[in-house]
Amino acid sequence: KTQAGALPPGPTPVPILGNVRDLTAKELWLTATKWAKEFGDVVHVHVVGQGLVFLSSPEATMDLLDKKGSIYGDKPSLVAFTRYGESSRRQRKLINQAFGIQVIPSYHPLIEAETHSFIRSLVADPSNYIDHTRRYAGGLTLSVIYGYEAVGNNDKFLNLGEECVDILSNRIASGGGIWPVDIFPSLKGLPTWAPGSGFLLKAAQWKAKMEEFVDHPYNFVKASMKTGSYVPSFCSVLLEDKEKCNTQFEFDLKWTANSMYSASMDTTITVFCHFLLAMVLHPEVLAKAQKEIDTVVGRDRLPTFSDRASLPFVEALLSETYRWGVPVPLSLPHRLMEDDVYRGMFIPKGSLIFGNVWAITRDETLFPNASAFLPERYLEKVDPALAKKRDPRTYVFGFGRRRCPGVNLVESSVWLLITAVLATLDISKAKDDFGNPIEPKIDFNNSVFRIPDKFQCDIRPRSEHALKVLREADAARP
């Protein structure tokens, strides 16, 4: 077979298993970034015959995942949703119909209601902030997608969703390798002692749960549509068009709806936890943001979307939260559909391509003092090309044809989430029995999403008045 050039460089594989051991590392993005320093911004490793390519610069991610998106747009089938083909294009079309930028304002009342309810839960029970964020993200998605109103933290659909995401991202993904079995078909033949063989059982469990989770909320929409009393949602709007309702369409619709649920959960949790952590570690940033909100919004009402343009520091704080937190540090892999040659290096068809967002967002030339949380870096005026290169949104939502289709919704919902929290709550280090501040202990144990393990912190209302304003906002809601 003729090859146009050598494979991209990378760490030396061991026979047969290749780089399996390199890939089982905790915080794989750190390892991938070390490789980038050693071998360059395009690194190749292989796992039992499956090639993985890590792209660690804005140039490489743009050149391949964006500019050559038509051949870098496929997905491994289990990790995320669908292959890039007819069905994926149809699904994205459905999503864009529901989450196009012009549609988002119609979700504003829902977003506001979920945000205020989230703040009430934080006030009532601050230490369980992760559960509340999960409830918030799940609740928002269930209502937007299915018109379903989740009840409490123990809702049946929320629980089902949680089980699926948990099996996938924690048990399958961290069970000895990074990605599940049908990405590495060759793992099926491995003896049970080999790293990664535990995949099979877990993948079967996951599939069964997934089918439940795809069908149940969808059946809820259909049943409620039959009764005539239902809240319009992504599914109901698309189902109303009876013309299109054939089996293929329904199949696409229910899997699309489901993929959005899973996709919104851990991502939102990651972003919120990093915001919280940044506020715990940087009281001066919290104070500055609160001062801006007090000046622009005042203390007698809650911030709304119409305040956004007048809150540049909060905007910078949000950007810095995306950059510093890096919610999905290796993004989600794309699958190369045809052999390709890049800068003379040969990248074979079928390779899994990872955008190393961690390496890019920690690049000192783009972000001096990159490990520090400094919203001010986004207040500096720079030319548009550089601004785009430094905008974390260019990377943290993924790339090219598979870029996160929920981004417009997130851009609104996460903004309001942090702005409303800043307006109503104080966040600081927890104190021990002697009143000494406790340093939050930070560790990352999820192999796909960079979610900090639960840490101690102190969250409380800024004042009695803030609580009153919150109650008034609730009372005013129809």
- Binding stretches for ligand HEM (CB under 6 A): 75, 80-81, 92, 95, 141, 259-260, 263-264, 267-268, 271, 327-328, 331-332, 334, 396-399, 402-406, 409-410, 414
Nearer to ligand HEM, 196 or 392 (CB): 392
Nearer to ligand HEM, 92 or 209 (CB): 92
Nearer to ligand HEM, 99 or 197 (CB): 99
Nearer to ligand HEM, 18 or 72 (CB): 72
93: three-class secondary structure by DSSP: helix
Mention every residue, 6+ apart, whose C-beta is less than 8 A from residue 81: 75, 88, 91, 255, 259, 263
Give me the least distance between CB of 29 and ligand HEM, in Å please: 13
Contact (Cβ atoms closer than 8 angstroms) between residue 287 and residue 313: no
Please count the other Cβ atoms lying within 10 Å of the Cβ belonging to residue 276.
24
Give me the least distance between CB of 252 and ligand HEM, in Å please: 12
Give me the least distance between CB of 404 and ligand HEM, in Å please: 3
Give me the least distance between CB of 234 and ligand HEM, in Å please: 9
Query: What is the distance, to the nearest Å, from the Cα of residue 345 to the centroid of all Cα atoms in its chain?
Result: 31
273 is in an annotated binding site: no
Please count the other Cβ atoms lying within 10 Å of the Cβ belonging to residue 146.
26
Instruction: Round to whole Å and give the CA distance between 9 and 15.
Output: 17
CA angle 171/177/178 to nearest 5° reads 75
Whose structure tokens read 């992760």?
Answer: 130
Which of 421, 456, 458, 451 is closest to 317 using CA atoms? 421
Could you tell me what percentage of the chain is helix, strand and coil, using 3-state DSSP and rounding each to the nearest 5?
Answer: 55, 10, 35
Nearer to ligand HEM, 268 or 424 (CB): 268
Give me the least distance between CB of 298 and ligand HEM, in Å please: 29
Locate 49 and state its tokens.
């015959």
Give me the least distance between CB of 398 and ligand HEM, in Å please: 2
Residues in the chain: 478
Per-residue three-class SS string for 341-391: EECCEEECCCCEEEECHHHHHCCCCCCCCCCCCCHHHHCCCCCHHHHHHHC
Instruction: Round to whole Å and give the CA distance between 135 and 137.
Output: 6
Count CA within 13 A, CB hemisphere, residue 382: 14
Annotated binding site for heme: 404
